[in-house]
Amino acid sequence: MSTTGEVADSTLDGKVHLDTVTKFNLFENQSINPYSGKLKITGQSSILWLTAQSETNVLIELDTNADGTIDSSETLSWSELY
């Protein structure tokens, strides 16, 4: 599963660009969560990456000023994300 596109909303005060870095892979008929893949979400001045680590965990990395350096990261369960 992969995607590319933009989402605009007045509550965002702008738009974000979505780009699949690595295609998301799912186990057939077993889970709605991907076990691998990476999504890049670019805002006006920051970048967020979501990296599937397993069908239960996702790594979230944030570059707060889009300078190429990860400023914070956290691993969450997919269920915590949604």
pLDDT, one tens digit for every residue, the chain (82 residues):
667 788 887 776 788 999 999 999 988 877 789 999 999 999 989 999 999 999 999 999 999 999 999 999 999 999 998 8
Total of domains in the chain: 1
Residue 52: what pLDDT? Answer: 97
In a domain? residue 19: yes
Looking at the domain assignment, is residue 81 inside a domain?
no
- Buried b / exposed e along 51-66 (16+ C-beta atoms within 10 A): bbeebebbeebebeee
Enclosing domain of residue 28: 4-74
In a domain, 66, yes or no: yes
What is d(CA 33, CA 60) in angstroms, rounded to the nearest whole number? Answer: 15
Instruction: Determine the pLDDT at residue 2.
Output: 66
CB 18, CB 4: distance < 8 Å: yes
